[in-house]
A and B are shown apart, each in its own frame.
Chain A
Amino acid sequence: MSFRGVKPLRIVAMILAGGRVGELSVLTLRRPKSALPFAGYYRIIDFPLSNLMRAGIQNVGILSQYRPASLIDHVGVGEHWDFAGLGRGAKILPPFRGADASDWYRGNADAVYQNLNYVRDHDADLVLVLSGDHIYSMDYREMIERHLERGADLTIAVKRMDRDERFGYAVLDQDGRVLDYEEKPSHPKSDLASLTIYLFDARALTDALTVLRAEGGVEFGRHVIPAMVSARRVFGWEFDGYWAYTRTVESYYQAHQDLLSGRIDVDRWGVRSNLVDAGIAGQPPLRIGSGAKIENSFISSACVVEGAVEESVISPGVIIERGAIVRGSVILGRGRIAAGARVERAIVDKAVVIGEGAAVGGAAAEGGLTLIGKEARVEAGARIPAGAVVQPEEIAQSARGDTA
């Protein structure tokens, strides 16, 4: 009997975390969407990072080019997701200038192409490409096992969705092989949408990106996948769990509603975060004052609640004074809602002060979601109507009527 030298399978992950989308308005002026705070203690990127941790994938490169400071602070060396130590690591991979005219990332596939040395350096067999702005709990091991069983070059996680033009759609045969793929078609031929979670054979990825680079392709959805479907073994792997992405202010708000209704279960999902960055380390517990009234909400440590909180999600360090009412809102931390102020259907970024007796937002019938940018101040008694946007560091006076 003879034994060949079998090498334990090596998998690296690359998280596409760079993007800023206009639809997120003031929330992403100063941070990439993957660094958006979520559910009190977390940032969105905690979801893929925690999925990776639970799958035992120990090397992750995070591709970021838009204002990555908060992402860098949050991820650190990855110790909170067990990525720190010999042979492991979470590494931010910013754009760089190399010997052969490297440049800004021109698309998600181009970003991975420019970091193929990360794949080579880790001698990876498989490369899992993820997005940093998805909220979900997925067992990547299942996807990996199916990928290996099928001898796939690429496996795409897909999910049944309403056919709308936001996604790429795949047509699968009965073995799960992708017969046809179209990115953001106006008339989808299937209801299986790509979740932009890709598992590549490392060699196939390297080959495909090298060819594509020569042809000027820069996007997975528009260029890489269509090219691979015709020439390579590309499969779909159907995921039927909860999945959301924070592409717009509305979807970000909706995800918080899903948190309150229990569809997102950060405890059962085993989501971890950087609690130092979240502002919890060294801070006292939540204090609930005698006049407080709290219903169906997530309220973090280091908050003080003396007013009323309903159907809301509050990050650490927020003070809600006596007589203040926070309803159907998301408050992102270190802020103060002064006595008698009222906040309804609003997303309030970090370190915002809502002055005494001020009124921010309103019921759905009155207009859209109200956004208050980071470090803004709403003056005492001011009225910020439903659907309005207050810019970061703005001092908002009374009677603002203009809306976003």
Chain B
Amino acid sequence: MSGPITHREELRAGERLARDLRHSLALILAGGVGSRLNVLVRQRAKPAVPFGGIYRLIDFTLSNLINSGLERVGILTQYLPYSLTDHIGDGRHWGLVGRTREVRILPPHQGASGSDWYLGTADAIYRNLGYIHRHDPEFVLLLSGDHVYHMDYAPMIDAHVRAGADVTIAVRRVPMEQASDFGTVHVDRDSYIVGFEEKPAVPTSNLISMGIYVFSARVLVERLMRWTSTGAAPDFGHHIFPRMLSGGDRMFAYEWSGYWEDVGTLRAYFDSHMDLVRAEKT
């Protein structure tokens, strides 16, 4: 696009984005054990770990959602969900109640096919396809419930639509020595993903996946039905993304550089609190 955008174009783009947000469904993966947090997670799920005095970790993600204008949220739980369930309540503290808004706890359940505990991130979504189907969204935003960050998801959804992508993954640069903890991506000059490796022993890229994905809902459902339903591909990073890439799906990288911490370890949890009390942190 060239030339300055006119007021008229700006309003029309804004209307399209508002519509895309209305047609989006967010799913938060909140089932992880987070065992590296030791005693902090003996009696609660990692997203329910208290943070910053009055918060719990999942507050960051929920607040990002409502501040981004996303109003339909499912939270997938599995591990010790009680304090999380109590904390979320009916969602009113995040404005997520009303005629078109909701936050719903989605515990594991037994279905017709003898459902079982979730085998991975993709499997967890696969087992809740009924929830997605009920909302019939155009876009599904997949999030983690245990990250400390402040992000507006609306521009990411906007980028996904403009890129004509099947899936868009939020990515950021980290020091190369940390990259092996994450999924790493290679991108072309237009930010389309040309390589994806989950937790490589020897990383060749320091551009890492933040575990925040925007899927076109139709594509998500079709790929999970094709690959995950057989039990062969239970995880996005290990199975779904490599297959999408080799299958020719359009995968877009949305680079984001704000403060973000996956407080997966006691050290990271502690450091994030210190970041809180230090000024001048972005």
Contacts and interface: CB of A to CB of B under 8 A. Distances in A.
B95 A8 contact: no
A203 interface: yes
Given A1-B190, A85-B95, A144-B15, A8 B69 contact: yes
Interface of A: 1, 3-10, 53, 56, 82, 84-88, 125-126, 144-145, 148-149, 151, 201, 203
A126 B11 CA distance: 9
B100 interface: yes
Interface of B: 5, 7-8, 10-15, 17-18, 21-22, 66, 69, 92, 94-95, 97-101, 154-155, 158-159, 162-163, 190-191
Contact of B66 (A9, A86, A148): A86
Contact of B15 (A9, A86, A88): A9
Contacts of A148: 8, 11-12, 15
B69 A3 contact: no
Contacts, number: 65
B39 to A, nearest CB: 34
Contacts of A4: 5
A8 B13 CA distance: 8
A145 B15 contact: yes
Contacts of A126: 11
Contacts of A53: 99
Nearest to A82: B99
Nearest to A6: B13
A56 B22 contact: yes
A125 B21 CA distance: 17
B225 to A, nearest CB: 31
Nearest to A150: B8
Nearest to A81: B99
Contact of A8 (B8, B14, B100): B14
Given A56-B100, A85-B92, A86-B94, A9 B11 contact: yes
Contacts of A203: 7
Nearest to B94: A86
15 contacts: A3-B155, A3-B158, A6-B155, A6-B158, A7-B14, A7-B17, A8-B21, A9-B14, A53-B99, A56-B100, A82-B99, A82-B100, A85-B101, A145-B15, A203-B7
A87 B66 contact: yes
B69 to A, nearest CB: 5
A149 B11 CA distance: 10
Contact of A87 (B12, B95, B154): B95
B137 to A, nearest CB: 15
A9 B13 CA distance: 8
Given A8-B18, A85-B98, A87-B66, A3 B7 contact: no
Nearest to A5: B155
A76 to B, nearest CB: 15
A3 B154 CA distance: 12
A9 B22 CA distance: 12
A1 B100 contact: no
Given A3-B158, A9-B14, 13 more contacts: A3-B159, A6-B14, A6-B154, A6-B155, A7-B17, A8-B17, A8-B21, A85-B95, A85-B97, A87-B95, A125-B14, A144-B15, A148-B12
A3 B162 contact: yes
Contact of A6 (B17, B163, B190): B17
Given A1-B163, A82-B98, A9 B5 contact: no
Contacts of B97: 85
Contacts of A88: 95, 98
A86 B71 CA distance: 11
A148 B95 CA distance: 29
A10 B14 CA distance: 8
Nearest to A202: B11
A125 B17 CA distance: 14
B121 to A, nearest CB: 27
